[in-house]
Structure 1
């Protein structure tokens, strides 16, 4: 009772597990966990291991294979023979956080994981959606991590047993809490790699910028000079444009006055024409009115003619009608009499049908009422009896379950009785064995002395072989080191070249070095925002390295000129730059650009001179489509070997063409010289050439590295083989030394073991007395259970008899039910017949109603016809004389209309003549208006041309200078002087040559970027040092934590091993004590009566119990909130299972245990027992028993 009170005071960490649709758990279940030990049992295949899979899954397991599936959707219940598959699986784990194990402000934490068949999944923390990373971070270093020992299966035990020493330390790392440091260190190493890579890139860019600064400064100076000249040129050009604008404005004013006069005359003629056209419209309307009246009179004439003809016809008809009237009166009377008789018969039939329908409806209501009564009797006849049967079945099942439980307890008691008897037999056998063992100890001592001598001889031979192997290994390692240094040097060179290549490719991709306007156009071409752009000149031509300097000098700023397909494309690109204010650029349209070449005679003379290499065009390669552009730029530029040769060539051709030397010196047309030297700089041409060179060099470097890698790999294989041989020798040395130590220790332990044998014999005798007492108690319990079993069997028989009686009663009721069913069927048939009769009567009634309505119409028509005939008989029809009079009137009207029509025709002729006169006048006026309009169009074209010229001047002012003509106010202008100034400025700008208009801004930007990158470099260096210091601190912390935890586990392991084995000794050994960050861990153990040896040399049960002892030791050093053990004691014998169970009870006050087991000893030690069954195929069910309450009931 005290133990139960103590357990009740424990804080439950794992409080509840809820599972729905996960694997074999089709329906939602929940498991409430208690302090201490909870055991989950069940037959193989019942799904008990799915409980562990559910906990592992909700804690974040990502491997479907670890959950015994091929994909994560396999954890969803897939259906069975009697159940459909579900669409999602959900597991919720509720944890107690009253001790603030987790850094959350909640006393209870729920973790939920869902997965749907669509592949979607979700994680929830206390009902709020979260990420998987949040779950893993929450559980890291809590003993619940991925490498933790909170969930231990038989496979996990085997993994610890069979893993290498370096792999085995993962468990110790988890216990020491260093996993998060390892994770942080890996992140820091990744950041360090990125920082180093960024630093290398920054250094590459800095080198590139350093190469650009000096030439940019020179370009900026030229740009400033050119800018001043352009300012002077601008002022003069603006004045000239103002003069042109003023002249054009005056001409436009004069021409506009003439146009205005002609427009006035045109308007007058237009007004006259409008007046005549209005008169013509009036006359046409009058003519139309006359024609309409004429049409009306003609139509009336046609009507009157028809009227006269009609009256004549009526006269003839009236004579004929008089003869036929008496016959019609008799016919109408007979038809009217027949219709009235038929109507009376239809009404009689209608009344008869209504009576039959009422009778059938009454019968149908009576049948329906009786059917409802029979149905009610059918529904209620068996209900009460079936309820009684269900109640008895429930009682029967309860008794049956109780009988099965009692029967199971009887078997359990019998098994324990058998176990106690077996223990007695074992005690006898053990006593005999101990006596025999005592006699063997003296003999073993002599044998171990012989073994010691043999082992020493083996040690001497192995040490000799190890020295020879070490010498060979040293030589191979030196060779490997040399090869690795060569390889590393090549890799560093490759990395530098790759960095340089990336930097150049980045500059090439960003069009770095191009003027801003050129750069924007090339970017727009790349993004397909501008059509017709072929590319910059420097992109479309190539040359050999020897001529690069000369071609660059020859092209100068033209390297950045942009080649377009047509002039229209060039104008469109210029418009794009203007719209966006992106700067300026020079364009070379292929459709209008003409090639320029040396005259044949000059070419012939030059080819005879020493130092002549050729024209610049001849030294480049480009597509045939761009040859005309290339000839335009380079066709008349001569390339010479050096300045001296260039001077001679210039004199030969009279200084008419520009000559460029291979060193970049220039003799300009006219005789001026340009030359000098500058520090090495990367130009667009040289950058392009360097890209190609670097690509080729990298290919060759890859081949060299592959060869060096192969040689290094071969040597490494040799070193590996030597290392393997050395390790084998070391293992053999260690094993031999261990054998020697074991033999020595065994000799010392022989006397100790003799004393131990005497003590064990005394202990066994005490155990024999306890076993006899236990057998008596179990026999008594068995008799009580058998008595209860007989009572339950009697109650079951009685209940079964009652059930059989009720089932017979149900059978009788079912016969009555069949009779009622037959009566109900007859009633339903009769109801159907009555419904059909009722429907027939309704149809007949509708037919008679329709017939009566039709007869009413017939009678009404005949009565009207009779009335008409009677009127005719009594004299209401016109007489032939009256009809003759009406005919004469119609003929008189017809003659009058014919006279009126002749008058209207005369009016129409007169009005048509007036319309023709107006049309002739309008035609003459329109001819006069055409003459004026043609003259006016000519004047407008002339005015438009003047305005276009003015707009051109105005656009130049606006686009080139941002001014408008009306903004310019000059008192007097010296036009010749202004034109001379413009020509002088243009000539000086031509001498300067093309300059980079953005050089000043680029120089400032590059300088600013250089300073920024210097600051970035300093920051990266500081960050690199900080990361290295942090990694060193983490290494030191991990060493300290691992060393402290290892020593604590080692101490506990020595003690726990003795408790679990009832003696013996064990130890944990570091494979490399000098390197605590990577050292492995070996397990040494000596069970009682055996030698101290490596874990691999023990039997299966000894190895399993040793690992279990290690896990219990770790739990003592680093208690986890809960621990799940999945059949880890499967390999233990009964005695060790009892020790295992007892130890679980001992440490369960600190750790909550959930045990999957089928071993009796483990079940007996559990506080709560959950059973997993599969009564329905493919579907797991949950049963629970609290063993402490069962024990109390049995004892009471």
Structure 2
């Protein structure tokens, strides 16, 4: 398949759409450097999927898009279309990229992936790694490349590169599959445990359901028996209760009248007591004011003492300031005198300084004359010294060379010492590495032991978590069941509240049921005795009368108004048959306690007692704990215990308490589960951490072994260096001895004698000048001492002036402070007078308040006497009321007796209703109406029921959802097992595929190596006109990983390494290898980028001849500057740049050595 054409638009230097037609044979692309020749090759590589920015001469993908010039703007897209064709097939590949980074590939006009394009090229014998393109510079670098890199080209020719990719993909797939299998086995293990557990729970749930159904049927029969018994009992008690209730009402009316009189007395006493408390508060306030005035008086007296003390301190401070002011004045006078004396001394020293300066100038002139004579003598001396120096320099040179050799010898000795120390260090390091290796190996063994222990602990934790999850699941199921029960009760309570509900009216206080509290035992009695009242709306009688005139009302209302309490006769309460008063079991809202007119009843043991009491006290109402009610009217209601507002309310509270207890049980279990999960997570993290540490230790062992090997190599190098240093030291020692002998032959005695004579004359004259100089120095010293004294006097004068200025300021400050202290003393005298006036005013106010206090104490005593009198009258009236109450209680006892018996019966019925609902989730009415197929004698029901319940109690927690959960887990387990089997089959298939790929790759590669090696020898002989070359594996024992080595011997040469070949020989050898590849696997086309640049004319001719021989099999596209290469081309494309950064293309066809414009 040959390249037919390539179209470029926006690619590098081709802004406009450019179509380049290619033909079979040899096509040359020529043009000056930088005109875009290589851009055509880059476009070819890029459209075929080249991803290396290095091969495209750009750092970023957007660099290949035309960036514009001074006249044209940048483009936003690069597009290249390549057309490939042969006699039977055609392939059009399109690659397009945008500046946003988006890129797309098309094949034959359809969007596709790069991988699909590469597979299509591979199927058409076009290598995926572009070995058909020999780039600029690649020829020169090929021979010096690594053996592995040479192998890559051979693999492409052999076709094993494709297998290598497939093998890598298969290995990745194998690794992923093995990881998935490990995870799947863990999941299967966990699911299997859960499945087995759920299977056991499901079996238990089936047995549990069957037993519960049996218990339900027996319980239904049991409740039918109880219902008939309770209904008979209720009818007997209700009649007795109604008779006793009417007798109780008569006794209660008399008691209310006396209590009303007592209330009036209590109100009068309360008003008087309130007045007394008010007088006491007023008297307390007056006494507090008196106490405050005494306190203020004491404070003012203390202020007088403080002002006196303040005046005393100010007087003492004034005396100190006066003394200090006098001291400052004396000091100021002394400073003025010092300034005058200093100024006089300064004038005298200034005159002496001028005189000394003139004398110094005369001496300096004389010294300059003597210096000229001394300079002439020095010139003669230095001339002689110069001649001496030349000889001496030669000697010094020898000394320096000797010294240099000595230093080098010392340096080498030090280096030898260092090398020996380094050798010792390396030996110690090797020993240390050996110890580290042993420690790391021991650490791995310990970590693995700890890892096994933690794994066992993790298994225990997982088992504990499973148990906790099962327990929590059971509790939640029970909680859900109780919640449904609670919701049903709340609906019943809501429905009960809605019955006979009155419409809302202003001022209403809600229903009676919300204003009364009682325990669960007596709640059913309220539903019996106050059944209608419990659901009535509480409203003040006066408020209701106002509303009746405005609108028509419907519903039940309980009117509120102040009333006299109706007491039950005390004899009734003393009766043994009476358990207590009905209202005593209730707690009423304090707001309405004294306003409601509800009937009272006596709670009695049974219906018989209620009737007996009613006969004695006809006005007494009685109720039994079972709910039997006997009204004072004589109406006896037996078995009236029903489930009303109060009973339902208490049942709702009980249910909520049970739900709260379940929540309390679930909460700690959930916390424990969470804690176990945390421990599990921590253990897993620790296990993971230990696995990481073990992996790190294994890597460390590998690194230590590498370092140990490296240190051993370094140790050998150091030993070699020590030997070399010893030889160098010996050579330097011999050179130093030779230079020492040469230096001994030089004689310096003659020059030293002449030098000494001149030196004596020069020293004598310098000595005379030095003596004179010493005298001059003394005079200079005196001069500078005089000048220093003068400077010191000036500094002293400045200091004295500054001190005088400071003293003047201090004198002014003291005067101001003196005036301030005198003013403070005057203020103290004025404050003292004011304080005395304030004390007199306070004493006057205190006398007036004391008189008012005595008057109020007398009035308070009179009120307290009147209160004692009222209290005595109140006690007498309370005694009378107590007697009447005892009388009323006797009648009340009779009513309470029957009332209690009635309440007990009603309660039994309500309890039975409640128990029935809890056990069967049915009302008693529904139980009576239910039709049962199986009939059991009454005597056997309780026995069979107890036996079944005992069997039910033996069941521990039962998961009722276990059957459904087990089905889900079983289905999941079977699915996972099938997945595990599929994964194992996939792993085995993948391993077999890898094995086959290795065998096929090895066979194809060795075959290609043999044939390419033969072609390489043939082409090498053609290009070099002789010589020998061959290809060898660097490691023949591992042909699948081994690199490829090239050996080449040009004719007449024997080279040890390829680096000794010349540039042209390297290029020809590389070309010989590439053409050998083409002979083994001819590529449809080949692109050569300036590969002829390094060839001389002879080698170039050979290369061109070879290219002409195979041009019928391979289409050649060559970029060149060589005219010889152009001559063999069938077509030439020329590039130029008429505009900056824009390539223009021209084409010609060469036929029979004549050029014609195409």
TM-score range, shorter chain: 0.3 to 0.5
TM-score by length of 1: 0.43
Find the structure with the greater CA-based Rg. 2
